[in-house]
């Protein structure tokens, strides 16, 4: 029995060479500050292969050239969304929130307003946790929280 014509396309998994990895990691770091250290090659390859397959690229080099040539920024944003790790949860890292309550907030007791930036907020669970803890600990204060992430996909979910 002959396999379907798209079988080879589905099974084809291009290898991520050292040059490809270096180019992708430098682009990610230079444009978004995403630090992909050596040792992350398999993670990068696995996350980007979906984009290669979806858009029909036969190599990581072809894909990289496409990202650079795309003046709209859509391909770069898709690459960053694929590479960003959006790990978040309510009350994630409880020790951090204990530290905030016990050490940080007492030193800010004289402030009427608290302005906080939550970088790498992912889909927002930690931001909401922060808001709840601050509201509970400082009910009379005006609290402003700004949150950001490099992943448009995560921000849209948030």
pLDDT tens, residue by residue, 51-63: 999 989 999 999 9
- Domain boundary assignment for the chain: 7-83, 94-157
- Give the predicted TM-score (pTM) of the model: 0.65
pLDDT of residue 9: 45
Question: Does position 87 have pLDDT exceeding 80, yes or no?
Answer: no
- Residue 4 pLDDT > 80, yes or no? no
Are 53 and 62 a contacting pair, CB within 8 Å?
no
pLDDT, averaged across the chain: 87
Rounded distance, CA 119 to CA 33, Å? Answer: 12
Distance CA 89, CA 6 (A): 39
User: At 125, phi and psi to the nearest 5?
Assistant: -60, -40
Residue 120's pLDDT band, with cuts at 50, 70 and 90, is confident
pLDDT band at 5 (very low <50, low <70, confident <90, very high): very low
Judge whether residue 41 has pLDDT over 50: yes
Locate 125 and state its tokens: 């669970």
Cα angle: 52, vertex 123, 86; to 5 degrees: 45
**Residue 79 to residue 64: CA distance in whole angstroms:** 10
pLDDT at 66 over 50: yes
21-27 average pLDDT score: 96
To the question of domain 7-83 being in CATH 1.10.155.10, the answer is yes
* Confidence label for 27 from pLDDT (cuts 50, 70 and 90): very high
Which DSSP symbol is given to 143? E
């Amino acid at each position: 029995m002959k396999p379907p014509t798209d079988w080879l396309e589905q099974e084809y998994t291009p290898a991520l060479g050292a040059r490809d990895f270096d180019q992708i990691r430098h682009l990610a770091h230079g444009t978004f500050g995403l630090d992909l250290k050596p040792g992350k090659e398999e993670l990068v390859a696995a996350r980007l292969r979906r984009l290669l397959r979806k858009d029909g690229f036969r190599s990581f080099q072809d894909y990289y050239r496409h990202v650079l040539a795309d003046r709209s920024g859509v391909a770069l944003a898709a690459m960053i969304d694929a590479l960003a790790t959006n790990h978040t949860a309510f009350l994630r890292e409880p020790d951090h929130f204990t530290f905030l309550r016990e050490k940080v907030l007492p030193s800010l007791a004289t402030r009427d307003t608290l302005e906080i930036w939550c970088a790498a907020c992912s889909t927002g669970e930690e931001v909401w946790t922060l808001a709840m803890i601050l509201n509970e600990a400082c009910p009379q204060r005006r609290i402003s929280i700004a949150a950001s992430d490099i992943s448009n996909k995560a921000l849209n979910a948030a």
